[in-house]
Chains A and B, each alone.
Chain A
């Protein structure tokens, strides 16, 4: 690629770069727009004067949001969910991927288990049965209803078991000869070697927990227990006023939340997860590429 500087190659890379830059702009601009709105005055926003740079700069929206119990409470729920949910995800994924990565002569039922696992990726229980299961197990309205149903992310298991498989067999044999058992092998040798893959899985699982909103709406019995995204959805959704009574419409128009505060909450809500990316990014590419190629 470096030595070949022909006309076609240069055109190709120009087109390529232009396309990629456009694509990144498509992703970034809405966020910048939201950021600009959150720092502008209501008046400037409602007259459409704000696009990518704040007009009539003010921090009012942030002051209001940070003093608002609902936002902080739901942020708390989500933080708790991530802190409990991600370690559980990781532990279960590792413990599941390790045996499934063994050869069939080592673990004879491997194929059966593997298919059983993959099957759950293809076929879901459906909303109503899931709801009833959660209800009957009695974890409704607790943080466990958000964590346990998705405790084993199968995609991550597949990713990790492929990563495990491409690790040199010799390491394993050497460890066994030196008297290591499976747990020693897994925790002292394989895991330290799999950090890129684990980082990737951590990222998937963190983002997944952070962004999930539907389960919060279905499994929580009151808005006080909503995770962040479920809460955010309640403030950004555009209510269809024609379906409400007109008196309610009047009341709503009186109280409708300002776009600036909505923008501030959306921005604050995505900030933590944005901050995670740079730290895990360097592992990310490596992890997903190596995990996906069977060695």
Chain B
């Protein structure tokens, strides 16, 4: 009996101690956030400012995504830096960080915030998140504030993609987001080849798919590096089949096969490129190349890093990639082996029709304003100021790099427009011819100097010169644009929730089926895959995509 009582006392004591402990912990928090501030930050913050004098800055809370390797001068952060101070001085907007997170974790963290209804005033979203927020009616209507506030310069930049982005974020006539308009053309693929190997083996430059197959065979079998060892492959691929660098995208485009939505010439309907007969043909060739060892036997498990290694150690003679590959992916090869010469060519075609490189057509992300925000116009002013500081009259190099700090990464609401790199290329080459650099903006001048250094003999600038210089990869993008060869994805809407849900399945089976065929599954299994694709949601997706297309075709 007595023991029983003692036990109860002890229990009570334990409970009390736990209570005390947790109370201490809460109290110890001190400087941390207080609950009131957390529940309704934007309302309290902005409400006090609405009715005060016009000179008081308006406060805007933001979710900030911090890019990799963003560095700051001592004492500064995403919330307090050159950009936020400029914004305060020139547009009277004070940015307050609701939270800041590394960009690799941004989507995950934002999903939690959306689910718990804890939204800042202004933030960046993916297409999927945008669709969710629109359906949940959590976003502010920007139609009027856009018309009233947008500067002609910023408006022009946002529409450089033919207004595809702005149209996509207009839901029932209401503008609910700003697109991050970017150069989808920069993602068009081209063929990168070891020119020194071509020369050593006396091979012609690749013009057709047949040339590519012949070169691939020779690179595999004829010891292109002259070391007497059978240690080379024809074309370098990696596990992500439709990536820019080391993907099969450029190869299948040569067969007029695509992984995007394309218009069927007969029916006028949109169809998925991945299930068309052209894809089967391209896969057959890839399978042959894999069997004969012209493709790395382990490519299905290799990532970017491993492919980079293979290229740097001189095992790879060709690779499909975008215009930016010299920067990080090819440069180690050139640094390692002074004899290595990488040359880029437009995509070769299987017949007399030129190959059309597929590109995305949608912005990778968007900027939105919470419905609770008292100042929806702030986002427009941010966009105006960003475009002004990068492309306008008052553009300055310090908004790109300042004392070695990457200040361009401080900009949160931003856009580069759809032609920035191509424009830079054209301007730089113009200036190289005339010697007149007065027409260049700060960003262009930076690249111009890099090219100039290379032409004057500084080989360490090869990677920039190979992009922006006279023989640069952007010349090929320019050719694509001038000859109207780019093939943007024909589905240009924000994916509906049905599409998002079903695509996770159809996307998976597409990747798996294509990979298996390359690795040796009988080519007939392509037909089974097409059946499955249609059954497991493909038909439904196609119907939704065509609904959108019917509305926007005109």
Contact = CB atoms under 8 A, between A and B. Distances in A.
Contacts of B21: 88, 91-92
B332 A131 contact: no
Contacts of A277: none
B249 to A, nearest CB: 10
B324 A257 contact: no
Majority secondary structure, B binding face = helix
A121 interface: no
Contact of A138 (B33, B303, B336): B33
A135 B11 contact: no
Contacts of A255: 68-69, 406
A241 interface: yes
A217 B184 CA distance: 31
Contacts of A107: 4, 7-8, 11
Interface stretch (B111-119, B429-437, B502-510): B111-119
A178 interface: no
A253 B327 contact: yes
Contacts of A15: none
A222 B97 contact: yes
Interface in A81-136: 88, 91-92, 95-96, 98-99, 102, 105-109, 127-128, 131-132, 135-136
Given A49-B313, A239-B104, A138 B305 contact: no
Contacts of A247: 182-183, 186, 416, 420-421
A223 B187 contact: no
Majority secondary structure, A binding face = helix
A48 B477 CA distance: 32
Size category, B interface: 35 or more
A163 B228 CA distance: 67
Interface stretch (A1-9, A141-149, A193-201): A141-149
B38 interface: yes
Interface stretch (B23-31, B142-150, B195-203): B23-31
A46 to B, nearest CB: 4
B10 A139 contact: no
A141 B25 CA distance: 14
B396 interface: no
Nearest to B185: A246
Given A234-B105, A246-B183, A247-B183, A138 B38 contact: yes
B32 A217 contact: no
A218 interface: yes
Contact of B182 (A136, A246, A254): A246
A235 B406 CA distance: 17
A223 B336 CA distance: 36
Contact of A139 (B8, B29, B67): B29
Interface in B401-455: 406, 408-409, 416, 420-421
A96 B14 contact: yes
A127 B308 CA distance: 38
B86 interface: no
Contacts of B51: none
B343 interface: no
Contacts of A24: none
Contact of A251 (B28, B245, B408): B408
Give the 5 A-B residue pairs with the shortest CB-CB distance, closest first.
A246-B186, A245-B182, A48-B309, A142-B32, A253-B328
Given A46-B309, A217-B108, A234-B102, 5 more contacts: A128-B115, A217-B105, A223-B100, A248-B67, A251-B406
24 contacts: A43-B336, A46-B336, A95-B14, A95-B17, A96-B14, A106-B3, A106-B6, A135-B38, A136-B39, A138-B35, A142-B29, A142-B32, A144-B29, A151-B22, A222-B77, A222-B78, A224-B77, A239-B68, A239-B104, A245-B182, A246-B324, A247-B183, A249-B186, A251-B67
Interface of A: 43, 46-49, 88, 91-92, 95-96, 98-99, 102, 105-109, 127-128, 131-132, 135-142, 144, 147-148, 151, 181-182, 217-218, 220-224, 226, 233-235, 237-239, 241-257, 259
